[in-house]
């Protein structure tokens, strides 16, 4: 994987992490219980995507 590809993956991972963090701010304050659970799940998924991308780049870099 080239350095440019690694940089792109890191930028995508950063975006996923921030989106997950912002979505998690809705936990406990969403208007409906279903929305609260949905935002929590979305946040968890986004943070999981970020973690997977960070780990992929870390393995590539050794």
Model pLDDT, residue 8: 98
Contact in structure between 10 and 57 (CB atoms under 8 Å) = yes
Quickly tell me which residue has 């998924």 as its tokens: 45
CA distance 56 to 59: 5
* DSSP code, position 19: H
What pLDDT, in 10s, does the model give residues 4-32? Answer: 999 999 999 999 999 999 989 888 887 88
Q: Torsions phi, psi of 29, nearest 5?
A: -125, 0
Contact in structure between 49 and 21 (CB atoms under 8 Å) = no
Answer yes or no: pTM beyond 0.75: yes
């Amino acid at each position: 994987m080239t350095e440019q590809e690694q940089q792109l993956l890191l930028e995508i991972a950063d975006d996923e992490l921030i989106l997950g963090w912002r979505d998690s701010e809705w936990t406990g304050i969403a208007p409906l219980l279903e929305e609260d659970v949905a935002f929590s799940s979305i946040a968890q998924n986004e943070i999981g995507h970020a973690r997977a991308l960070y780990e992929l780049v870390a393995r590539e870099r050794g």
